[in-house]
Amino acid sequence: MYLAWKEIRHSKGRFFFMMVIISLLAYLVFFVSGLASGLAKDNASSIENLGKHTFILQKDADQRINRSALSSETVSKLSSTFGKDKVTVLNLQSTTVNRVGKQQKIDLTLFNLDGSQSFRPSLTAGNEPSPQTTTDIIIDQSIKRNGIHLYDTIKEQSSGLTFKVTGFTKNATFSHMPVAYLNQRQWHLFTEKRKVSGQKAVHAAVTTPFSLKKTRQLADRIHLNQNISEVSADTVIRALPGYKEEQSSLQMMISFLFIISVFILGIFFYMITAQKQAQFGILKAIGTSTGYLVRSLIFQTLITLFVSLGFSLLLTVLTVFVLPPGMPFSLSPNVIIERLLAFTGISLLSILLSIWQIIKISALSAIEGR
pLDDT at 272 over 60: yes
Q: Backbone phi, then psi, for 223, in 5-degree steps?
A: -90, 115
- Determine the residue type at 252: M
- 9-46 per-position pLDDT tens digit: 666 677 788 889 889 999 999 999 999 999 998 888 88
How high is the pLDDT of residue 367?
A: 57
Q: How many domains does the chain have?
A: 1
Average pLDDT in the chain: 83
- What is the structure's pLDDT at 197? 47
Q: What pLDDT shows up at residue 107? A: 92
Largest CA distance in the chain: 93
Residue 198 located in a structural domain: no
Tens digits of residue pLDDT in 66-125: 888 888 888 888 888 888 888 888 888 888 999 888 888 999 999 988 765 556 788 889
Q: Which residues of 291-311 are buried (b: 16+ CB within 10 A; e: fewer)?
A: eebbebbbbbbbbbbebbbeb
CA-nearest of 185, 233, 226, 184 to 78 is 226
CA torsion 242-244-246-252 (nearest 10°) is -160
Instruction: State which residues form the domain around 364.
Output: 2-44+243-368
Residue 271 lies in a domain: yes
CA 136 to each of CA 85, 108, 132, 182, 218: distance values in angstroms, whole numbers, following the listed order: 26, 16, 9, 9, 38
Beta bridge partners of 162: 155
Nearest C-alpha neighbor of 284 from the set 293, 273, 275: 293
pLDDT digits (tens, 9 = 90+) for 206-245: 888 888 888 888 888 888 888 888 999 889 998 888 888 8
Contacts of 114 (CB under 8 A, 6+ apart): 88, 89, 91, 184
* Cβ within 8 Å of residue 286, ≥6 positions away: none
350, 25 Cβ separation under 8 angstroms:
no
The answer as to whether 230 is a domain residue is no
Asked whether residue 39 is assigned to any structural domain, the reply reads: yes
Predicted pLDDT of residue 84: 81
In-domain check, residue 152: no
pTM of the predicted protein model? 0.81
Per the domain annotation, does 286 fall within a domain?
Answer: yes
Are 55 and 232 within 8 A, CB to CB? yes
In a domain, 15, yes or no: yes
Comparing CA positions, the residue from 51, 91, 47 lying closest to residue 68 is: 91
The answer to whether residue 11 is domain-embedded is: yes
- At 1, the pLDDT band (50, 70, 90 cuts) reads low
pLDDT at 7 over 80: no
